[in-house]
Structure 1
Amino acid sequence: MADMNLWPIGNCQVSALIDSRGTFVWGCVPRVDGDPAFCSLLGGVEAPETGFWSIELENAQTITQSYIRNTPILVTRHEDATGNAIEVTDFCPRFVREGRTYRPTSFVRIVRPVSGSPRIRIRVRVATNWGEPAGRTHGSNHIRYLMAGQTLRLSTDAPVGHLTDENWFRLERPLNMFLGPDESFAGVLGEAAAAMLARTTDEWRHWVRGLATPLEWQDVVIRAAITLKLCQHEETGAIVAALTTSIPEHEGSERNWDYRYCWIRDAYYTVQALNRLGALDVLEGYLEYLRNIVDASKGGHIQPLYGVGGESTLIERIET
């Protein structure tokens, strides 16, 4: 099986899973049950050719990872044996803007030199249709990835040629990458990325401050609460069973279902756990989701599970 030591990031619209090397190995767009732009997690132990986003330090010896306190913002530090080091910060923007929660279908990566003269390589291999390489075009400050039914744009202040050619190059200043909808990025990318990082940090810490956490095991409880919160699709209030699909329950198991749906019963336990901590926003969103399901049923049968948008017609298929 692939490395299952994974770190989730997200904004309750999209999410991604990052492995112990700091590589995006899973992430769907435009929402949690969408087409995986990153799907190398499902490739097993074999090195995949596509479906990942890696930032590597040349001759790295140690990689350490941690979240910024009380957030799902991940910091990965790469070091080599001679003192060269870099730090990568990964997050999905989420904050209140003009009275509404801003949670775009976007992923932000900021890589900065920490010490020495580090050389890095950035590989962005977006997939479509469950593992096929997405088409690609590029301009002077962006790369477009042509997925089936949608196009993603990577806006960056990194040398685009180094990204498209996957060159090793010296990192002499912080570089910023914003992967999102196919729209021109307005403003100075570095300043905007720093502002989004600060506001996203504040937004998550504001949410955590509203939790009634116990004195014992507080850090663990908060981390679990944030992880459960990432399973809610805030637009509709749905709560998915997991952010992934096709991961066997254990090595060799054939029970590898798609858990990116809302099971009515299972979601209740998530709501119950978070409600005990005072996260009423999750309860309110889920109740709104349930009311819409009941209305759509017109007094008929309520299914065990629905899509995150309340879809009742769910077609099972096997992807190979």
Structure 2
Amino acid sequence: MKKKKHIYPHAIVGNCAFLAYVNKNTNIDWMCWPRFDSSFIFGRMLDQRKGGEFSILPDDDGGFSSKQYYIENTNVVRTEIETSDGSYRVTDFAPRFYQNDRYYKPLMMIRKIEPLSGTPRIKVKCNPVGNYGEIVPEAHRGSNHIEYLGLEQNLRLTTNISLTYIEDERGFVLNEPKYLVLTYGAPLEASIERTSERFMNETILYWRGWVKSTSIGNFYQKVIIRSALALKIHQYEDTGAIIAAGTTSLPEAPGSTRNWDYRYCWMRDTFYTLNAFNSIGHFEEVEQYFQYIANISVQESERFQPLYSISGEKSLIEHILDLEGYMGNQPVRIGNQAYEHIQNDVYGQVLVSLLPLYIDNRFIIDERAGSHKLINKMLGLINKTLDEPDAGLWEFRTLAQEHCYTNLFQWAGASAALKIGRHLKDDEIISQAEDLVSRSTEKIEKCWDDERGVYTQAIGSKHLDASTLQMIMMNYIPHNSDKAKSHLKNLEMELSADSGLFYRYKHADDFGTPETTFLITAFWYVEALTCVGRIEEAIKIFEELISFENHVGLLSEDVDAESGSQWGNFPQAYSHVGLINAATRISRKLDKPSFL
């Protein structure tokens, strides 16, 4: 029997201070305040009973239909509800715009409700919670607001809707625009209607201006724009950190127990993320991320962790919460034990990420301040860990190997440092980098399986791994070589699935054999195809991959190859990074622009 297709029914809004997940049924299913990694204020995504509610639903049991879409080139979302009595529209956004020489990005969620046809009757429910559903704050009525007391700071809902209707959860006729402004800490004291409209217009203008400042070719522009907008609001602007996803414990596959907290910043993905922002010409985000990395490097004397909190905190102790879980999938985890793992590719990732500071003339000398010391530090850490088995890119919890991917990024990092050393005419950097390039190459070649003509997952392993697609993309294997073609062919035969999807690996790990494909590896596959000159195939598969977006163009972490279902944390920033990088790679290879 064919599996039922599962698609996440959410759009996200955000302002680089927080994210909110808006269900097609109007409920805010997930929103964490005051930070990305704080407890949810609304969390029905993980528990229908403890997750609270913030919905704007029809006041009848007659059923309704809905459609959801973004206002073009913005992170402002609209949800339209059609009932037998009429229709209405909810516009949701997190204010963000330039004001007083800085970005205004308050902990404020604004919801505008307006009638479209007929005389719709609606019911508004606002029931926030704290400490992952363990705290239910007390609601106190004010003149035009409801105060929710009992959390770290007070929540306030300011509105021009009758407070009685909200407190009693009674239906009312919607015959004029209404506004709901939810704030954390500092409340809204200004005019509800005028302020909400001004903030909405300013936010729309901001996002459209941001899009216009991107450098995007003609190849699937709209798809890249949506991915860029999604990626942007995964950056916590206060520190520059970029999280993998705004959610926790959405399962990689139903019943798999592969339910992880992704609200942190992984150092291993530094290169890919910065490459994506570079590709679309957004240096402000790159510079902020550089600052985050620089601050991490100052606090670490021995080795880097694979991931840190958005503030650079090191201890991310994993806990299991007493929550139902997404569609009943447990456990629900906060924190991530992977912070304890050894992943030695991170030093190479940092060095490759530093390279543009030296070879891209758009960066000025002052922006390289402190990086010279960081280069020496990273080379020293590569030297120290070159012969050390690690948990690898996929964070195996009970398997330590000398991973090909780790050695590849040690090689790539040393190669980047060599270019920087030559640019600086620094003989010490040049000498150390040359030695590490040679030694890491020897390690990589120990992963070559001459009989099959493929690089394996690790030294002494027969398993294949999608991460070794990077051997081609990072220019370790010449693109036009027989070796590149043989390596890619073997990976295709073992790890590819329908529609260009790709498994990370096929062998059992700590939690069994992976059931779903990992979406970013499919975009790596597109890049590898492009590199070896199989452009038509790359375009065809790219087109198939973007069909796995949800209704508003957002991508999940994983996809079930059989049903096309979205699984894993959502939206996954790195899936959108993969899309941007793959599209950029194809665009650069095309002889002439084409509107597809």
- Counterpart Cα distance in 2 of 1:186 and 1:179: 12
Structure 2 residue aligned with 1:120: 122
Look up the SS of the partner of 1:41 in the other structure: coil
Moved over 4 A (4+): none
Structure 2 residue aligned with 1:56: 57
Structure 1 residue aligned with 2:310: 308
2:246 is aligned with 1:243? yes
Q: Tell whether the 8 Å contact from 1:52 to 1:126 is kept in structure 2 after alignment.
A: yes
Structure 1 residue aligned with 2:374: none
| CA shift digits 1:134-173 (9 cap, x unpaired) | 3221212111123432221111111111111110111121
2:37 is aligned with 1:36? no
Look up the SS of the partner of 1:223 in the other structure: helix
TM norm structure 2: 0.51
How far apart are 1:302 and its partner, in Å?
Answer: 1.3
Q: Tell whether the 8 Å contact from 1:262 to 1:307 is kept in structure 2 after alignment.
A: yes
Q: Tell whether the 8 Å contact from 1:60 to 1:78 is kept in structure 2 after alignment.
A: no
Q: Tell whether the 8 Å contact from 1:26 to 1:52 is kept in structure 2 after alignment.
A: no
Q: Tell whether the 8 Å contact from 1:264 to 1:305 is kept in structure 2 after alignment.
A: yes
Look up the SS of the partner of 2:72 in the other structure: coil
- Counterpart Cα distance in 2 of 1:24 and 1:180: 14
Structure 2 residue aligned with 1:14: 18
Q: Tell whether the 8 Å contact from 1:3 to 1:19 is kept in structure 2 after alignment.
A: no
- Counterpart Cα distance in 2 of 1:249 and 1:41: 15
Range that drifts further, 180-189 or 163-172:
180-189
Q: 1:87 aligns with which of 86, 89, 104?
A: 89
- Counterpart Cα distance in 2 of 1:318 and 1:61: 36
- Counterpart Cα distance in 2 of 1:37 and 1:268: 33
With over 3 angstroms needed to count, the CA separation of the structure-2 counterparts of 1:289 and 1:49, relative to structure 1, is closer
* Structure 2 residue identity aligned to 1:90: D
Structure 1 residue aligned with 2:379: none
How far apart are 1:8 and its partner, in Å?
Answer: 0.8
Unpaired segments ≥5 residues, structure 1: none
Q: Tell whether the 8 Å contact from 1:51 to 1:127 is kept in structure 2 after alignment.
A: yes
Unpaired segments ≥5 residues, structure 2: 323-596
Look up the SS of the partner of 1:144 in the other structure: strand
Matches within 5 A, 1:1-320: 4-43=8-47, 47-48=48-49, 50-58=51-59, 59-82=62-85, 84-132=86-134, 133-297=136-300, 299-320=301-322
How far apart are 1:115 and its partner, in Å?
Answer: 1.4
- Counterpart Cα distance in 1 of 2:42 and 2:105: 19
Structure holding more strand per residue: 1
Q: Tell whether the 8 Å contact from 1:23 to 1:55 is kept in structure 2 after alignment.
A: yes
Alignment length, in residue pairs?
315
Q: Tell whether the 8 Å contact from 2:51 to 2:132 is kept in structure 1 after alignment.
A: no
Look up the SS of the partner of 2:200 in the other structure: helix
* Structure 1 residue identity aligned to 2:235: Q
Look up the SS of the partner of 1:128 in the other structure: coil
- Counterpart Cα distance in 2 of 1:49 and 1:118: 29
Q: Tell whether the 8 Å contact from 2:45 to 2:51 is kept in structure 1 after alignment.
A: no
How far apart are 1:122 and its partner, in Å?
Answer: 0.4
* Structure 1 residue identity aligned to 2:274: V
- Counterpart Cα distance in 1 of 2:104 and 2:271: 26
How far apart are 1:38 and its partner, in Å?
Answer: 0.6
| CA shift digits 1:71-93 (9 cap, x unpaired) | 110001111135x1111000000
Q: Tell whether the 8 Å contact from 1:134 to 1:146 is kept in structure 2 after alignment.
A: yes
With over 3 angstroms needed to count, the CA separation of the structure-2 counterparts of 1:49 and 1:119, relative to structure 1, is farther
Percent same amino acid among aligned pairs? 37
Q: Tell whether the 8 Å contact from 1:144 to 1:182 is kept in structure 2 after alignment.
A: no
Q: Tell whether the 8 Å contact from 2:15 to 2:105 is kept in structure 1 after alignment.
A: yes
TM norm structure 1: 0.94
With over 3 angstroms needed to count, the CA separation of the structure-2 counterparts of 1:201 and 1:234, relative to structure 1, is same
- Counterpart Cα distance in 2 of 1:40 and 1:163: 19
